[in-house]
Amino acid sequence: MDAKKLKIPNKLPLIRTNNIVLFPYLIIPLVVTDEYLKKVIDFALENDRLLALFLLKDSGKKNEIHEYGIAVNILQMRKNVDNSISLLLQGAFRIKLIRVHEEKPISFAELEAIPEQLDDSPKIQALKNIAIELFGKINEESNNLNEGIISTLKNIKQPGRVADIIAGNAPLKLHEKQAVLETIDLEKRFEILNDILAEIIKQL
């Protein structure tokens, strides 16, 4: 989804998570058993199917979340016989937290949508190519080479999308994924990502 083309509400139902960092366009399954989260899902399904997903900070402060997160679209929902809910979620666009509204029965994130930069300069292209090369080496060393995804990455015109796909599929730690997610400037995003990928290769 392109944040510029969507009519985006300035508040979305909030999910705080300690184990998920999702990127635009990427899809993940999620099983929900928590009763609060079920209420959040119900609200989203009754409205525009969008959620605000933010990673909790490791600060010791209860419910403190990072400033940048992701708006998430509910693609599919299924209620299971054990009363859990199975979801298929897709990252939509980056969001910046303005403030949290603790309402009943759920919390909302007041937010600002962050449009993706469209920088296609020679330096960005060079950084993109380095990222693809490093990601390919990681797949080779891991005996998990997916030639299809490498070919796809080379053909994607939006550099930011390439960085996000790699960050979402490479074995990054949670805080490393968050660092990539919250870096809006494309040059800095690729520099951070490439440093992380190079370090992963050293440890293989």
How confident is the model over 14-36, as pLDDT tens digits? 999 999 999 999 999 999 999 99
Q: What is the CA radius of gyration of the chain?
A: 18
Let me know: does 25 contact 90? Beta carbons within 8 Å: yes
Identify the residue whose tokens are 């959040």: 40
Instruction: Classify residue 3: in a domain, yes or no.
Output: no
pTM for this model (two decimals): 0.92
Average pLDDT over residues 121-149: 88
Question: What φ, ψ does residue 170 adopt, rounded to 5°?
Answer: -80, 160
pLDDT at 76: 97
pLDDT at 145 over 70: no
- Residue 176, C-beta contacts closer than 8 angstroms, at least 6 positions apart: 167, 196
Question: Domain containing 63 — which CATH number?
Answer: 2.30.130.40
pLDDT band at 144 (very low <50, low <70, confident <90, very high): low
Same domain, 90 and 155: no
pLDDT at 79: 95
Last residue of a domain, one of 69, 88, 114: 114
Instruction: Classify residue 5: in a domain, yes or no.
Output: no
The domain tally of the chain equals: 2
Let me know: does 15 contact 37? Beta carbons within 8 Å: yes
pLDDT at 1: 53
